């Protein structure tokens, strides 16, 4: 079973911190929708024959910039070129300002059953700082609106580590989410990515990023707060009430196959070695032009050896609540971490970063989760070189 990711590269304005691929100038979406459906056809002719689709995820950009008839057309293309008869979850990213009742009803009618809402903060000054389109009123209202339209399975994104944010805002954001009994929350630390407006503000001294210690404290607070209120912390950024873990995202952490369609979308396919990962062109005009000629719009392709996959597996699994299974690592990837890294594992355990190994599982403690990259770097087999 594979996953399908659909990248919709439109936004109405640029958030200061964002380095995803999107355009803000497109007046009409018809050419893009046509090209996207053609890519779905091309991918379906190869990969659709190999595995049925289990999950579909519309991300962006802002998928909710597309009108319902356009989305309907895309879903029709998916159903035509892939076996989507047993899809478990169809997630759609939506911004609060787009979530009118009519639009939500339209999404429901075309089979969307999970929403991921880009709220980021319930405070107007945070939202202004980030240059989001919506305001705090819309951020709160969207939650009751999605419920009224029958969406019980939804997630909200919240961002911590916002420069200049009064200290009480972050806990208040979590209080508000919790008071609405939001079933799934993804929390992200605001990072300064290259070539973003935020990076420019930092370079010019207009914004001073939150320091690492403060970000770590906010993350530690988040873990305590949400797990203390019934949320499962099942992946570093992801918290879910029982029954609401994201199915699609799980495949990214488990080396399961997925196909990405749309400009800049990534795909991963492992069906014998080497595994393949490729990314599409990050330019909508080039994307459309290539597809007009029936050419797959690939920009980069990488072949992954078993050693490279093992490195990734360690990195990805340490992020999860399930943890890194030493048995799976040995049987599937040929790495005997317990023998090769006995001293490193002992050091990590002594430093309180991992729990004592039980049932052949390495799992991060809460302290380890705040220092996940450090733990990963210490355990990567390639560090031997």
Residues interacting with ligand SF4, by CB under 6 A? Answer: 11, 14-15, 18, 20, 22, 60-62, 95, 118
Respond yes or no on whether the N-terminal peptide bond of residue 86 is cis (omega within 30° of 0). Answer: no
SS3 285: helix
- 224 φψ region: left (φ > 0), alpha (ψ -120 to 50), beta (else): alpha
Q: At what angle do helices 326-333 and 306-318 cross, to 10 degrees?
A: 160
- Please identify, using beta-carbon distances, which residue of 15 and 362 lies nearer to ligand SF4: 15
d(CA 111, CA 78): 12
Instruction: Give me the least distance between CB of 316 and ligand SF4, in Å please.
Output: 23
DSSP-assigned letter for residue 209: P
- Please identify, using beta-carbon distances, which residue of 18 and 361 lies nearer to ligand SF4: 18
Could you tell me if 318 and 376 are in contact, meaning their C-beta atoms sit under 8 angstroms apart? yes
Instruction: Give me the least distance between CB of 174 and ligand SF4, in Å please.
Output: 20
Instruction: Give me the least distance between CB of 253 and ligand SF4, in Å please.
Output: 22
- Please identify, using beta-carbon distances, which residue of 95 and 257 lies nearer to ligand SF4: 95
Burial status of residue 211 (CB atoms within 10 A of its CB: 0-12, 13-18, 19 or more): exposed
Residues sharing a CB contact under 8 Å with residue 142, sequence separation 6 or more, in sequence order: 96, 99, 117, 119, 134
d(CA 356, CA 364): 10
Instruction: Give me the least distance between CB of 103 and ligand SF4, in Å please.
Output: 16
- 337 φψ region: left (φ > 0), alpha (ψ -120 to 50), beta (else): alpha
Instruction: Give me the least distance between CB of 130 and ligand SF4, in Å please.
Output: 8
DSSP-assigned letter for residue 108: H
- Please identify, using beta-carbon distances, which residue of 257 and 264 lies nearer to ligand SF4: 264
Of 1, 23, 3, 5, nearest to 13 by C-alpha is: 23
Instruction: Give me the least distance between CB of 194 and ligand SF4, in Å please.
Output: 15
DSSP 316-384: HHHTBSS-EEHHHHHHHH---HHHHTHHHHHHHHHTTSBPPPBTTEE-B-HHHHHTHHHHHHHH-GGGG
Instruction: Give me the least distance between CB of 185 and ligand SF4, in Å please.
Output: 17
Instruction: Give me the least distance between CB of 208 and ligand SF4, in Å please.
Output: 21
């Amino acid at each position: 079973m594979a996953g399908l990711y659909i990248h919709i590269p439109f936004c109405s304005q640029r958030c200061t911190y964002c380095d995803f691929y999107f355009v803000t100038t497109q007046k009409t979406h018809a050419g893009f929708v046509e090209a996207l459906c053609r890519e779905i056809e091309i991918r379906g002719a190869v990969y659709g024959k190999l595995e049925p689709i289990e999950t579909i995820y519309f991300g962006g950009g802002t998928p909710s910039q597309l009108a319902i008839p356009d989305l309907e057309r895309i879903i029709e293309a998916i159903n035509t070129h892939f076996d989507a008869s047993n899809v478990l979850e169809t997630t759609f990213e939506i911004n609060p300002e787009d979530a009118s009742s009519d639009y939500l009803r339209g999404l429901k009618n075309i089979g969307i059953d999970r929403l991921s809402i880009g709220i980021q903060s319930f405070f107007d000054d945070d939202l202004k700082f980030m240059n989001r389109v919506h305001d705090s009123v819309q951020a709160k209202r969207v939650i009751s609106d999605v419920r009224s339209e029958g969406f019980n399975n939804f997630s909200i994104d919240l961002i911590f580590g916002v420069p200049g944010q009064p200290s009480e805002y972050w806990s208040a954001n979590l209080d508000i989410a919790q008071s609405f009994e939001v079933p799934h929350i993804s929390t992200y630390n605001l990072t300064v990515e290259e070539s973003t407006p935020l990076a420019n503000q930092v370079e010019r001294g207009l914004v001073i990023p939150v320091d690492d210690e403060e970000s770590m404290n906010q993350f530690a607070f988040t873990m305590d707060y949400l797990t203390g209120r019934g949320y499962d912390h099942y992946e570093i950024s992801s918290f879910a009430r029982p029954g609401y873990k994201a199915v699609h995202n799980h495949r990214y952490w488990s080396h399961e196959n997925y196909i990405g369609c749309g400009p800049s979308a990534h795909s991963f396919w492992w069906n014998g070695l080497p595994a393949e990962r490729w990314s599409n062109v990050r330019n909508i005009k080039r994307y459309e032009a290539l597809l007009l000629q029936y050419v797959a719009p690939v920009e980069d392709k990488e072949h992954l050896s078993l050693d490279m996959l093992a490195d990734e597996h360690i990195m990805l699994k340490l992020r999860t609540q399930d943890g890194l299974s030493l048995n799976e690592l040995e049987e599937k990837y040929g790495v005997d971490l317990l023998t090769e890294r006995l001293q490193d594992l002992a050091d990590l355990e002594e430093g309180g970063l991992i729990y004592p190994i039980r049932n052949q599982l390495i799992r991060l403690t809460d302290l380890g989760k705040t220092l996940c990259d450090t733990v990963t770097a210490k355990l990567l087999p390639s560090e031997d070189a």
